[in-house]
Amino acid sequence: MTDNIKLIHAFSIALELPEHEVNDGLEYSSHKKWDSTAHMILVAQLENDFDVMFEIDDIIDMSSFAKAKEILLKYDEKLSL
Amino acid sequence: MTTTFPLTGYGVKLSLLSEDKVEQVRLWRNHPEVANNMLDKSVISKSQQQRWFNSLNNQRQLYLVISYKEEDIGVIYALVDDGDDEKKAQPLNKANVIAPGLYIAPECQYRNSVLAFCPSLLFIDYLFQMQSCSYLKAKVFSYNTAAIRYNEALGYNKKDVDEDNLLTMTLSRENYQRAKNKLTKVLRF
């Protein structure tokens, strides 16, 4: 599984969305399923799947799929996202 | 035990609602995204808001403004729930049941963010540590799935839905502690 597919899969599980709806345009301000609870589940899912522990500012800043990629790359620049 | 406000923790600050913020709070409260989830959805006028503020009794109700990084982002509050016995009129620190509530400012960038859990964690810690209540009670419209999921993540259990379509949810100290342990694994302040 590529890192990008792993990330899409994590979003799909956390936000209970079909994988084809997970793309760079996905933002928490514009998607009904991305509420506070989904955000919490998403962070836990990403920390587990990518074996990272985010700084709190990065967690709060994780406001879109594109931003999640950017933040993950800060923790592991070898990821192919 | 006397409490000194503001409360601080989990990255947020909870300050007693002050007169200079009453109008801002009214604008948030009147916004359809907030008002639609209130039992009373009517638009509140400036004069009504001022009368309400002047009549606030901090013994029986507590309204706190939430701020994060010096930005005001919402309101959290608690009211005594006397049930059907209005004669009890207990102050908050002696009430058996307290009904808390919260709203995040409608235009706030953190509205659907995990940050929304922080004021609740701080406030519920305070209510359970400083007050003598045995449980907290929330009433949310049964269609408000985001609020129900949010409350469940804090450890609330679903109870009955009444004729107004309001779902009662309750939170015991034990369930809160379990939920808090999970939440603070992510919210590592």
On whether residue A40 sits in a domain, the answer given is yes
Question: Global pTM?
Answer: 0.94
pLDDT score of B1 more than 70: no
Q: Do B112 and A59 count as a contact with CB atoms less than 8 A apart?
A: no
Q: What is the pLDDT, as a whole number, of residue B112? A: 87
pLDDT score of B145 more than 80: yes
Q: Ramachandran region of residue B12, left (φ > 0), alpha (ψ -120 to 50) or beta?
A: beta
B19-40 mean pLDDT: 93
Q: What is the pLDDT, as a whole number, of residue B84? A: 61
Q: Say if residues B169 and B157 touch (Cβ distance below 8 Å).
A: yes
pLDDT tens digit string along B90-112? 888 889 999 999 999 998 989 88
Assign residue A12 the CATH number of its domain: 1.10.1200.10
Using an 8 Å CB-CB cutoff, list residues of chain B that contact chain A: 11, 109-117, 146, 149-150, 152-153, 183, 185-189
Q: Are strands B97-104 and B135-141 parallel, antiparallel or unpaired?
A: parallel
Which of B113, B115, B156 to mutate against chain A (most A CBs within 10 Å)?
A: B113
pLDDT score of A69 more than 80: yes
On whether residue A31 sits in a domain, the answer given is yes
On whether residue A81 sits in a domain, the answer given is no
Q: Count the domains in chain A.
A: 1
Question: pLDDT class for B87, splitting at 50, 70, 90?
Answer: low
CA dist., res. B7 & res. B4, Å (int): 7
Q: Do A59 and B117 count as a contact with CB atoms less than 8 A apart?
A: no
In chain B, the N- to C-terminal Cα span, in Å, equals 26
Q: What is the pLDDT, as a whole number, of residue B85? A: 63
pLDDT tens digit string along A52-63? 999 999 999 999
What is the extent of the structural domain holding A19?
3-75
Rounded to the nearest 10°, the torsion over CA B7, B13, B16, B17 is -170
Q: What is the pLDDT, as a whole number, of residue B86? A: 62
pLDDT tens digit string along A4-62? 999 999 999 999 999 999 998 898 877 888 899 999 999 999 999 999 999 999 999 99
Q: Do A60 and B146 count as a contact with CB atoms less than 8 A apart?
A: no
Distance from CA of A13 to the nearest CA of B (A): 16
Q: Do A36 and B189 count as a contact with CB atoms less than 8 A apart?
A: no
Strands (E), B69-131: 71-80, 97-104
> φ, ψ for residue A33 (rounded to 5)?
-80, -10
From chain A, the residues in CB contact with B153 under 8 A are: 36-37, 40
Q: What is the pLDDT, as a whole number, of residue A10? A: 95
On whether residue A11 sits in a domain, the answer given is yes
Higher pLDDT, B88 or B178: B178
Q: Are strands B135-141 and B71-80 parallel, antiparallel or unpaired?
A: unpaired
Counting one residue from A and one from B, how many pairs have CB atoms under 8 Å apart?
52
Give me the amino acid identity at B29: R
Nearest Cα to B10, choosing from B114, B111, B146, B153?
B114
On whether residue A80 sits in a domain, the answer given is no
